[in-house]
Amino acid sequence: MKHIKTLNKGTLKETASHAGCGECQTSCQSACKTSCTVGNQECENK
């Protein structure tokens, strides 16, 4: 592509088919304790 560089193709739809193992960290346990962000957590099932 000439005008678009894709930084990431987007995997959310793919994750939907094998999602929800629940082994990942709870967001509030990592460092925040006040301002919830989930997008910065890591997947344990990658």
User: Rule CB under 8 A: which residues touch another protein?
Assistant: 1-13, 15-16, 18-46
What is the closest distance, in whole angstroms, from the C-beta atom of residue 15 to another protein in the complex?
4
- Asked if residues 18 and 42 have their Cβ atoms less than 8 Å apart, the reply is no
Distance in Å, CB of 12 to another protein, minimum: 4
> What is 9-42 written as a DSSP string?
---HHHHHHT-----SPPHHHHT-SSS---TTSP
Shortest distance, position 44 Cβ to another protein, whole Å: 7
